[in-house]
Amino acid sequence: MTDFPWLSVLIALPLVGAVAVALLPRGRDALAKQTAFAVSVVVAVLAVVMATGFDTGGARFQFTETHWWIKQFGVHWALGVDGVALVLVLLSVILVPLVILASWTDADRSGGVDVPPKRSVKTYFALILALEAAMVGVFAATDVFLFYVFFEAMLIPVYFIIGSYGGAQRSYAAVKFLLYSLFGGLLMLVSVIWLYPLSARPASKGGLGEGTFLFTELNTMHVDPTTAKWLFLGFFVAFAIKAPMVPVHTWLPDAAQQSPTGALVLIVGVLDKVGTYGMLRFCLELFPGAAKWATPVVLALAVVSVLYGAILAIGQVDLKRLVAYTSVSHFGFIVLGIFAMTTAGQSGAALYMVNHGFATGALFLLVGFMIVRRKSARISDFGGLQKKAPVLAGLFLVAGLAGLSLPGLSPFVSEFMVLSGTFTRYRVPAIIATAGVVLAAIYILWMYQRTMNGPAGEGTEGILDLSAREKWAVAPIIAVIVVMGFYPQPVLNVINPSVHHTLARLDRPDPRPDVTGNVAENGARP
């Protein structure tokens, strides 16, 4: 059982499904949807079964597979998951069937909510499945080259989804998304290529004696500080664009506004996590010295992201753009937690990635349902929806409260961990970032108030409550949010060992506050 290539299967299955769906005859749209849904459910079930076999006290990377892929470049088909990667894989594969369910009719009316030019429905679902394969691959890759391949391969389906099935400005948004990501990716490529000659150096000069891209070998390599800083920057810029952090976040609102809702859940919920996951995994572990060197700037950018994203979110008039800016703010928290380099901060950040995926996913899905009903995304076009659609309003409130990290819902736990973990080492950033929590209350509650309360807005007369399909798409996510809000321990148990590995590589033990409250930093820093 342990030899079963779980991860390869989890990558191959959606890919095969994608091809199968794409090859279905024209006009069999219903069959295409059913096939896609069935495949994604099977993948999700398989992943959960695999996850039950994960041993929290065992080796760091589990379910590993290592085969040569391109020997000439030292590249392996190397897969394996540690705790952080495992929970992110689970997040991806659980979201996909729900997204398919939620966007059952999205492709039918793509190209703007008003005039629907007919687009190929089966292609939409094939692209979602192809994206799923790349998402699992990117988190499961333990070879830096393979990671890069999945990192870039992910862009293509998303590009076509936004460009073909998005709103009026879809091609602008799609090209902007692709060019931002590609530019970051190519900078990372320079760093990836550079790793090869570094690892090929003889062991006496700090290399590994043989060119390789295996993460588990590269993270023991010594890189001289100047080179490490350049390499770190190559990776970091790519991940910052992906995450997205201020000032390279501007693609996200456009992509969010134009993208079909279902795909948007995957873009913000999962794709962007690749950025923060990459920082935690590659930036910190491959170049620990450079990461410490960059920490002040990164923390400053993270705090700016938290506040700037939140302030811009308050000012938005478009529902999807609003939620996109809240994500910029949340990603600021995640980066803060990662670069605080404390156990609580990094565990919190990893947990935050999962929680944010579910919470924002639910919020986006519900916003999408609202937009479909009103045929508009402008906040001012809504009002008084609570009376017409109580279930929609109730779920929207829960998802919104999760977004502002209300205690009892899962994001609270992670946000608290991030802030307290940051506070033990970097007080000022933690204190400033806390203001983001207050701003979150403003943007969420004000959005709720304008759309759900008050007198019924014009044009909202015929709005119906959620259908059974829509309820089934959102209910599991809400359930996860509530359960993990009260009992996050199982997930933390999975995450913690890998965070300890990262911190050990960074050589940064947690600071211990003394009686007076001053932070003792290994005796070196007051």
Partner 1 sequence: MTGTVLAQGADIQTPHIEYGQIAPILVVLGVAVVGVLVEAFVGRRQRYAVQVPLAFAGLVAAFGWTLWLGFHEKPWHVAAEGALGVDGPTLFIQGTILILAVLALLLIAERRSPAFTAQASALPGSEAEQETAAAGHVQTEVFPLLLFAVGGMVMFPAAADLLTMFVALEVMSLPLYLLCGLARRRRLLSQEAAVKYFLLGAFSSAFFLYGTALLYGYAGSVRLSAIYQALGRDVGSETLLLGGVALLSVGLLFKLGAVPFHMWKPDVYQGAPTPITALMASCVVVAAAGGLLRVYYVALANLKWDWRPAMWAVAIITMVAGAVIAITQTDIKRMLAYSSIAHAGFILTGIVATSPDGLSGTLFYLAAYGFASIGAFAVITMVRDTGGEAGHLSRWAGLGRRSPVTASVFAFFLLAFAGIPLTSGFTGKFAVFKAAVESGATPLVIVGVVASAVAAFFYVRVIVVMFFSEPEADGPTVVVAPATAAAVALGLAATVVLGVLPQPVLDMAGHAASQMFVR
- Binding to partner 1 by residue 77, rule CB under 8 A? no
- Inter-CA distances, 367 with 7, 319, 321, 373, Å: 33, 7, 11, 10
Q: Cα–Cα–Cα angle for 28, 34, 35, nearest 5°?
A: 85
- Binding to partner 1 by residue 293, rule CB under 8 A? no
Q: Which region, judged by CB under 8 A, interacts with partner 1, from 45-53, 181-189, 289-297, 364-372?
A: 181-189
What residue spans of 166-222 are helical by DSSP H?
170-200, 215-218
Among 163, 278, 288, 357, binds partner 1 (CB under 8 A): 163
Among 38, 193, 297, 428, binds partner 1 (CB under 8 A): 193
Say how far apart CA 2 and CA 62 lie, in whole Å.
9
Say how far apart CA 388 and CA 370 lie, in whole Å.
12
Among 16, 190, 314, 519, binds partner 1 (CB under 8 A): 190
Say how far apart CA 46 and CA 337 lie, in whole Å.
31
Cβ atoms of 318 and 377 closer than 8 Å: yes
Say how far apart CA 174 and CA 162 lie, in whole Å.
5
Binding mask 93-132 for partner 1 (x = CB under 8 A): ------------------------x--x------------
Say how far apart CA 377 and CA 393 lie, in whole Å.
16
Among 54, 69, 446, 448, binds partner 1 (CB under 8 A): 69
Phi, psi of 68 (to 5 degrees): -65, 140
- Closest contact distance (angstroms) between CB of 294 and partner 1 is 19
Among 16, 42, 51, 189, binds partner 1 (CB under 8 A): 189
- Binding to partner 1 by residue 258, rule CB under 8 A? no
- Binding to partner 1 by residue 23, rule CB under 8 A? no
Nearer to partner 1, 53 or 197 (CB): 197
- Binding to partner 1 by residue 152, rule CB under 8 A? yes
**Number of residues engaging partner 1 in binding (CB under 8 A):** 35
Cβ atoms of 340 and 399 closer than 8 Å: no
What residue spans of 316-426 are helical by DSSP H?
319-340, 343-374, 385-388, 390-403, 410-423
- Binding to partner 1 by residue 18, rule CB under 8 A? no
In 3D space, the residue among 166, 181, 171 whose CA is nearest the CA of residue 257 turns out to be 166
Nearer to partner 1, 26 or 525 (CB): 26
Nearer to partner 1, 136 or 178 (CB): 178
Mark 453-487 as b/e (b = at least 16 C-beta within 10 Å).
Answer: eeeebeebeebeebeeebeebbebbbebbeebbee
- Binding to partner 1 by residue 490, rule CB under 8 A? no
Q: Would you state the structure tokens that stand for residue 246, as one six-digit string?
A: 């201020």
- Closest contact distance (angstroms) between CB of 174 and partner 1 is 7
Specify the DSSP class assigned to residue 260. -
Q: Which region, judged by CB under 8 A, interacts with partner 1, from 167-175, 396-404, 405-413, 472-480?
A: 167-175
- CA trace torsion 150, 153, 158, 163 (10° rounding): 170
- Binding to partner 1 by residue 25, rule CB under 8 A? no
Nearer to partner 1, 62 or 164 (CB): 164
Query: Bridge-partner residues for 70, per DSSP?
Result: 75
- Closest contact distance (angstroms) between CB of 79 and partner 1 is 16
Nearer to partner 1, 231 or 478 (CB): 231
Task: Restricting to residues 449-468, name those near partner 1 by CB under 8 A.
Answer: none
- Binding to partner 1 by residue 12, rule CB under 8 A? no
| Residues that bind partner 1 in the complex, under the rule CB under 8 A | 68-73, 117, 120, 148-149, 152-153, 155-156, 159-160, 163-164, 170-171, 174-175, 178-179, 182-183, 186-187, 189-190, 193-194, 196-197, 200
